[in-house]
Chains A and B, each alone.
Chain A
Amino acid sequence: MLKTALEALHNVKDPEIETISIVDLGMVEQIKVEGQSVLVKLLPTFMGCPALDIIQKNVEGELGKAGIFEKIEVQFIYHPPWTSDRVTETGRIKLKEFGIAPPPKFMSETGEWHVDCPFCGSAYTTMDNLFGPTACRSILYCKSCRNPFEAMKPVSTMM
């Protein structure tokens, strides 16, 4: 049953990035199956994210489709906090396919970070705006292929 639940959660995509599932985004902290009930604990990426309600509905929908759970509960918890290193390797590939650079794995002590262009792979990129179209993304520009692109913001408890 746990396997069925996890498979169902793989079908729940980020409402704004349709290639990546909430599992690959690292949002799923716990799936608890007891008898016919399932409880899913999710970590919000950013707190003010308006997609949370949609994600909750979609999780309930996908788990309902599995047809084996009588009681479905979704909770958002803050602890542990979501950090950008929770994005899986598959998730990083999926983000790139969508044209969004995955969050940098490494950040310098001064807080500076760098990402490569998701289109041409060039390291010759500049930060245009730390804040992007959604709370979790920044806007960058590739000086090599001359495309603007977005990157997932690095978020860590070290900040």
Chain B
Amino acid sequence: MTEPAGNMPIDAKIKPPMTSLLYQLADDDFILAYRGSEWLGLAPHIEEDVAFSSISQDTMGHAAMFYQLLADLGEGNVDSLAHARKTSERRNAVLLELVNGPGHYLSSAQYDWAFAVVRNYFYTQAKKIRMDSLKNSSYQPLAEVALKVNMELYYHLLHWKTWFIQLMQAGGEARTRMEAAIGRVLADFEGVLNLGPLAKEMAEHGLIEKEEVLKQRWLFIMKPVFETVKLAVSEADLAMKTGNGRIGEHTADLDDALSTLSEVYNINPAASW
């Protein structure tokens, strides 16, 4: 359906870091969009339901574009890349796969809105920094996709930042719950900022800037926001407590999500959607 990027031959040395980066970008957006879709009907108010589902739909669209770039490099078709890969083959950050809260979206869901706001805001800002860097990627098809993603991301970032600042400044229960959520998110945020074992090669080939540069940029951009809401966050707070998704370490939350989301696909993997 899309224009093949295959007309650009890719060097054998560049391919491993290239596909590694694309799997991370695709899997991050894919699983977070899925978690977002579970919120449908459960958001704090109806306008938020409209906004959050629209954001999740855009994000799923971004994942589809990254999977398409992988398909163009001969990694398989988009549907199987999204549905048929096992937990150990996934490269998303662990933070993004964690459940929204206890319960199931069909019954007795006790989802935590503070966790949704913090996870989405921090991630969206990191993704924005990544896309800005990718606009100058040496791999032209990726640079073009980044430009497109970036335009939609503008609205997502505005949305989550607004929620974050308002809830942080609300005081009371909102502040308490937000601070708890920030603690949980930071404890695994290093897993989002890290680019995996081939990070060095990615930078050497000009696919994306150095991991450390992107991380410092995230801290730099977040600093004034944290100051506004009177929150002390330092680099030392960033950790990877639950595991490194970039090397295939994941939680049972991801197993459960994959078996739910691929249920229909697995009825007939050869079907055309």
Contact status A75-B58, CB under 8 Å: no
User: Complex Cα distance A81/B144, Å?
Assistant: 8
Q: Is the C-beta of B3 less than 8 angstroms from some C-beta in chain A? A: yes
Overall SS of chain A's interface: loop
Q: Chain B's nearest CB lies how many Å from the CB of A34?
A: 16
Q: Known contacts A130-B159, A131-B50, A132-B54: does B61 contact A48 (CB below 8 Å)?
A: yes
User: Can you list 25 contacts pairing A with B, beta carbon distance less than 8 Å?
Assistant: A41-B3, A47-B61, A47-B62, A47-B65, A47-B148, A47-B149, A47-B152, A48-B58, A56-B1, A77-B2, A78-B2, A78-B144, A79-B144, A79-B148, A129-B50, A130-B159, A131-B55, A131-B155, A133-B50, A134-B54, A135-B54, A135-B61, A157-B147, A159-B150, A159-B154
Given A46-B61, A134-B54, A159-B154, 17 more contacts at CB 8 Å? A46-B58, A47-B64, A75-B1, A75-B2, A76-B2, A76-B3, A78-B65, A81-B144, A83-B151, A129-B47, A130-B155, A132-B50, A135-B61, A155-B151, A157-B147, A159-B150, A159-B151
6 A-B pairs with least C-beta separation: A48-B61, A47-B61, A131-B51, A159-B154, A79-B144, A131-B54
Q: A84-122 vs B: 1/0 string, CB under 8 Å?
A: 000000000000000000000000000100000000000
Identity of the chain A residue whose Cβ is nearest the Cβ of B54 in the assembled complex: A131
List, in ascending order, chain A residues with CB within 8 A of B1's CB: 56, 74-76
Q: How many residues of A contact B (CB 8 A)?
A: 30
List, in ascending order, chain A residues with CB within 8 A of B64's CB: 47-48
Contact status B51-A130, CB under 8 Å: yes
**B30-76: which residues lie under 8 A (CB-CB) from chain A?**
47, 50-51, 54-55, 57-62, 64-65
User: Complex Cα distance A130/B90, Å?
Assistant: 33
User: Complex Cα distance A157/B150, Å?
Assistant: 8
Q: Is the C-beta of B198 less than 8 angstroms from some C-beta in chain A? A: no
List, in ascending order, chain A residues with CB within 8 A of B158's CB: 111, 130
Contact status B145-A78, CB under 8 Å: yes
Q: Chain A's nearest CB lies how many Å from the CB of B212?
A: 26
User: Complex Cα distance A77/B60, Å?
Assistant: 17
Contact status A135-B57, CB under 8 Å: yes
User: Complex Cα distance A48/B3, Å?
Assistant: 17
Q: Is the C-beta of A145 less than 8 angstroms from some C-beta in chain B? A: no
User: Complex Cα distance A129/B47, Å?
Assistant: 7
List, in ascending order, chain B residues with CB within 8 A of A49's CB: 61
User: Complex Cα distance A130/B156, Å?
Assistant: 10
Q: Known contacts A78-B144, A79-B144, A139-B50: does B60 contact A48 (CB below 8 Å)?
A: yes
User: Complex Cα distance A79/B59, Å?
Assistant: 19
Q: A42-75 vs B: 1/0 string, CB under 8 Å?
A: 0000111110000010000000000000000011
Contact status B151-A156, CB under 8 Å: yes
Q: A7-25 vs B: 1/0 string, CB under 8 Å?
A: 0000000000000000000
User: Complex Cα distance A155/B54, Å?
Assistant: 15
Identity of the chain B residue whose Cβ is nearest the Cβ of A49 in the assembled complex: B61
Q: Known contacts A78-B144, A131-B159, A159-B151: does B2 contact A47 (CB below 8 Å)?
A: no
Identity of the chain B residue whose Cβ is nearest the Cβ of A47 in the assembled complex: B61
User: Complex Cα distance A83/B153, Å?
Assistant: 14
